[in-house]
Structure 1
């Protein structure tokens, strides 16, 4: 028996929602059917894809690898269906938005409620990519707006509006308390296990350049596919990592992780709204763009 698209489609929704029941609701099917399908997929592939708990499911390392390939494919198919429905005149007005995880959690989500309240007839399709992927989707005309984080290179045809800056901090689990409350050089903690985003992300490149500016080479011990995996790994005392301050601060204040103050200053980064001036936006997309760019 070989895996088919239905296996991967269900896998995509389970991994996306990290919950079997929510995935079943999204697919308009039953939770036992979803569970059975995922067990079949694990048997077919010969590996465990999920770790199940009372709170939901988390991806194993094998599951993360598979998801990194399945997610873009499923998202492309979803967009293709939307385009076809639009061509056939069966779809109401909709907006495709691509966003990095940081930009989505820190900026985009806060604006969506206001937009939905004003434009109930508009459907929003939100796709999660890293910065290079989001820009490629924008230039290909597959999304209307990109909400991404610096640094990135772009053509003159792209309109870039900086809407929010943010700072990153270096944090570690409780076993690194010896570094708490004092200022250390990056070189001093350079031999500790480092957890980073994967090599093909802007975040990886940003911190790689930061290390170079300090005369050092960044050598990660663990690379993860999404930012929301870094803090859980740090909480397990598996290493140190750079995290946006707004996400790290609550855990630092609770004493669950420790902040490691560096002598070297970490450059600030920006969240930007990007659109392609060569591709006209729909009226709804223009309204969302204006709302995002003018939000204080």
Structure 2
């Protein structure tokens, strides 16, 4: 069939004009070339396609059957060309983005809104998945781009940083006070010291207005220090709320706790960062969250950040996409918004 495409073009033009001379002029080829193409097609199909007369040519019954199908094919091709021109002129296209719910809400959303307002003809599809699953979808060609927390990027992918994030531990002040009362009951007979040290993680008890001794190695004073417990003790004795396992962020936090010698006694796993923030705000325990995602809660005092001498290593968030796939105009335009 594909070998005959040029013959079908000749056939279609001759049928529309009803005249070999006119068809030759339209196709910019000679009349003998037109006649030869028609003969080749008739020989291949073993039928007569045209009846010739002094007035021109008309289709045979078999020729009419073929023409009906060829007309649909050429019409579809013409419509396809028109749609492509329309897409190019108006910037119409489609963009499939893979992203976790938290990254979508706290990083993607604002600029996505701007992108949609500036490009109303582009259809945007959001596919919410973990970083691991987002990379799988990219590899399978089911999405165009992924927004992820940087991890070991597989070979064959490009990564573009767009933001830096910081993992912290937060708690509700009431929960912290109750934790202190519980610990005081358990260790009522033990001597206390106004300066509590726990390796490199330290809390402060007593008068918060008291001056910190010069060159003291303690962590900066914050409202979270009111418990009088070292941060290490708080993380080990509290109900520590973390993202579920097999999550890039959870792996990052587990590595940190292990490196600092912190061994939590009770862990509550949650599959959503925003729920961790909410749970901490209502006093369910201490939560590992991203500071940039909890700014409103921190500013309002609903949660307090626990001071730590050795912060969790900062991470980057960025877009990842296959190197082998040529970036579409839509994708180039989207990435251009992020610098």
TM-score by length of 2: 0.55
Deviations 1:243-293 (A, max 9, x none): 11123232233222222111221111111111101122322122112223x
Q: Deviations over 1:17-64 (max 9, x none)?
A: xxxxxxxxxxxxxxxxxxxxxxxxxxxxxxxxxxxxxxxxxxxxxxxx
For the 8 Å contact 2:224–2:304, the answer to whether it is kept is no
Q: Shift of the alpha carbon at 1:218?
A: 5.1
The 2-side partners of 1:253 and 1:214 are apart by 28
CA distance in 2, matches of 1:120, 1:271: 26
Deviation at 1:181, TM superposition (A): 4.5
**Residue 214 to residue 187, structure 1, CA distance change in 2 (3 Å):** farther
Identify the residue that residue 110 of structure 1 maps to in structure 2.
110
Q: Deviations over 1:77-97 (max 9, x none)?
A: xxxxxxxxx9xx9x9621100
Could you say if the C-alpha distance between residues 251 and 225 of structure 1 is closer, same or farther in structure 2, counting changes exceeding 3 Å? same
- Post-superposition shift, 1:210? 0.5
1:118-170 deviation digits (Å, cap 9, x = unpaired): 221110001111111111111111110111113x1122310011111011221
- Using a 3 Å threshold, how does the CA distance of structure 1 residues 222 and 188 change in structure 2: closer, same or farther? closer
Compared CA separation, residues 279 and 229, structure 1 to 2 (3 A) = same
User: For residues 239 and 309 of structure 2, what CA distance do their matches in structure 1 show?
Assistant: 19
Question: Which secondary structure state, in structure 1, belongs to the residue aligned with residue 298 of structure 2?
Answer: helix
Match of 1:132 in 2: 132
Distance 1:219 1:103, change over 3 A: farther
Judge conservation of contact 2:235–2:264 (CA < 8 Å) in 1. Answer: no
Task: Give CA deviations for 1:56-115 in whole Å, capped at 9, x if unaligned.
Answer: xxxxxxxxxxxxxxxxxxxxxxxxxxxxxx9xx9x9621100012332123211111221
Give the corresponding residue for 1:164.
163
Structure 2 distance, partners of 1:186, 1:138, is 40
Matched, 1:207 2:253: yes
Q: Does 1:155 align with 2:201?
A: no
User: Which residue pairs with 1:146 in the alignment?
Assistant: 146
Question: CA separation in 1, counterparts of 2:292 and 2:234?
Answer: 25
Give the CA RMSD over aligned residues. Answer: 2.5
Q: Please say which of residues 184-193 and 280-289 is displaced more in the overlay.
A: 184-193
Q: Are residues 1:264 and 2:310 paired?
A: yes
Aligned to 2:75: none
Q: How far apart in 2 are the matches of 1:125 and 1:188?
A: 42
Equivalent residue for 2:100?
A: 100
CA distance in 1, matches of 2:154, 2:264: 29
Q: 1:103 to 1:282 in 2, by over 3 A?
A: same
Q: Which runs of 5+ in 2 are unaligned?
A: 1-79, 181-202, 204-222
Contact 2:238 2:266 in 1 (8 A): no
**243, 246, 262: which is aligned to 2:289?**
243
**1:185 offset after TM fit, Å?**
4.0
Q: Which has the larger radius of gyration?
A: 2
- Contact kept in structure 1, 2:231 and 2:306, CA below 8 Å: no
Give the whole-Å Cα distance in 1 for the aligned partners of 2:318 and 2:266. Answer: 27
- Counterpart of 2:273 in structure 1 is 227
Gaps in structure 1 of 5+ consecutive residues: 1-85
Q: Which one of 282, 285, 292 corresponds to residue 331 of structure 2?
A: 285
- Aligned residue number for residue 72 of structure 2: none
Partner of 2:175: 175
Separation of aligned partners in 1, 2:320 and 2:248: 16
CA distance in 2, matches of 1:219, 1:132: 28
Cα distance between partner residues in 1 of 2:323 and 2:128: 22
SS of 1:221's equivalent?
A: strand
Give the Cα–Cα distance (whole angstroms) in 1 for the partners of residues 269 and 242 of structure 2: 5
